Structure 1
């Protein structure tokens, strides 16, 4: 079942409490902390452009990639309304193929890499990112932690009932493969006041911090820092999100 198809068009409404301005500020704080100049950014798994648009408004030159044409369509509509020109490319993140080198920064926000479920595919993305970066270029990304996917989401069900949208979210965690399968059923009210049902199945891999670091080292990264949930503190065992900041040191 295709991910982020029908879901793409209600994604922003369901995620309306996410502080994307806070995300952008944190990314810029990371860049400042590394004391490097960043002008151009390749954004991976950009979704509906919630990071892409505000970063573009801050005068970064951004090319953004996502696998979902529907998500990119929403991003284009939002950018047009806000008078922002975006460079958007439809591409499977696991098969990253980008040919403009010497990038200042590669960014993947909002746990995009958890959707890559095979080590070989993630290693490919890391190696390609290393190749594309300039000397002292930054590779910044986050993952939903192993703790979050295995324990908080785990085998639990979540749901919400809003005036125009309702959803049910059932999770199943495979302890052998470290995969969480998320069955989403959402109900959208139409013009006649009736609710139409849509379903999607999403799958994410739960990676440990050590597994990610090992793959980064194989790809060539030596300068690797990890931070907990929008801080500059080391992650603990119960953080839901872990940020990785890698610098290409030749």
Structure 2
């Protein structure tokens, strides 16, 4: 199911407080710290291109994959306005099928893997990534932490009124399956000031660091580093974003 069907067109406006340039800088710092030689990148769950486009501007050869054609259309439109050529493919990353191998880097930013709710699907992605990478290739991704999904978001409600968009975001955390169900209702004004109502349900899985590391090792990655909240320190108990850096 395309969980970003209607949300794609307002996603960037609602996420305007995210420092994507800082995110890209951190990714480059990881690459530098690892002394990895990276020219080409495959980005999984690339969304509207908020990481993809800045990386392309830095002269990386980057291809993006996302399940949402609507999100990719937004990315294409943004890239065209900046005269950037992007390779963008509509695909469910849990069934990852990419023809180019010997890649320098595979990337998944902004908690795309939390949307993969079954162990076997995530292991499949990790295994396929391991196959696609060159020897010494680097796999960089982040997740929203177990703490964030279970405690910060779980069973809480958020809302905001903006000039042309209002939204309500209600979350329910299932502590048996470690799933957070997000019910998103948003109202978008048209050119006449009339508001259209849109509703979507998003499901994310809360993973522990150990669960992710076990799956990575099963997929063939033995060199795995874990960092918390855009630092090069181990995650704290209340870290909200966990980064994994894996070498083939």
8 A Cα contact 2:226 2:242, kept in partner: yes
1:83-132 per-residue CA deviation (whole Å, 9 max, x = no partner) reads: 00000000001111112110000000000000000000000000000011
Partner of 1:2: 2
The question of 1:125 aligning with 2:125 is answered yes
Deviation sequence 1:185-213 (CA, Å, 0-9, x none)? 00001111121100000000000000000
Q: Which residue of 2 aligns with 1:59?
A: 59
SS at match of 2:7: helix
TM-score norm. by structure 2 comes to 0.99
Q: Residue 170 of structure 1 aligns with which residue?
A: 170
* 4+ residue segments displaced more than 3 Å: none
Contact kept? 1:2, 1:200, Cα under 8 Å = no
Distance 1:109 1:205 in 2: 16
Q: Distance in 2 between matches of 1:171 and 1:2?
A: 19
The CA distance in 1 between the partners of 2:172 and 2:18, in whole Å, is 25
Cα contact 2:66–2:93 (8 A) shared by 1: yes
The corresponding residue for 2:236 is 236
Listed one character per residue, the Cα deviations across residues 224-247 of structure 1 (whole Å, up to 9, x for unaligned) are 000000000000111000000000
Contact 2:171 2:181 in 1 (8 A): yes
The secondary structure found in structure 1 opposite 2:27 is helix
Q: Is the contact made by 1:2 and 1:201 (CA closer than 8 Å) also made in structure 2?
A: no
Structure 2, gaps ≥5 residues long: none
Match of 2:94 in 1: 94
* Residues 1:11 and 2:1 are matched in the alignment: no
CA contact (8 A) 1:139 1:246 kept: yes
Q: What is the match of residue 184 of structure 2? A: 184
Pairs within 5 Å for 1:32-111:
32-111=32-111
Pairwise CA distance, 1:2: 3.4
Cα RMSD for the two superposed structures: 0.7
The residue that corresponds to 1:221 in the other structure is 221
- Alignment partners' CA distance in 1, 2:175 and 2:19: 32
Q: Distance in 1 between matches of 2:99 and 2:210?
A: 29
The 2-side partners of 1:62 and 1:191 are apart by: 36
Structure 1, unaligned runs of 5 or more: none
Q: Classify the secondary structure of the residue corresponding to 1:62.
A: strand
Aligned residues: 248
Cα distance in 2 for partners of 1:125, 1:93 equals: 7
Question: Does the 8 A contact of 2:2 with 2:67 survive in 1?
Answer: no
Mapped to 2, the partners of 1:3 and 1:219 lie a distance apart of: 27
Within the alignment, does 1:140 sit opposite 2:137 as a pair? Answer: no
Q: Does 1:211 align with 2:208?
A: no
Per-residue Cα deviation, 1:155-190 (whole angstroms, up to 9, x for no partner): 010000001100000001111110000000000011
* Corresponding residue for residue 198 of structure 2: 198
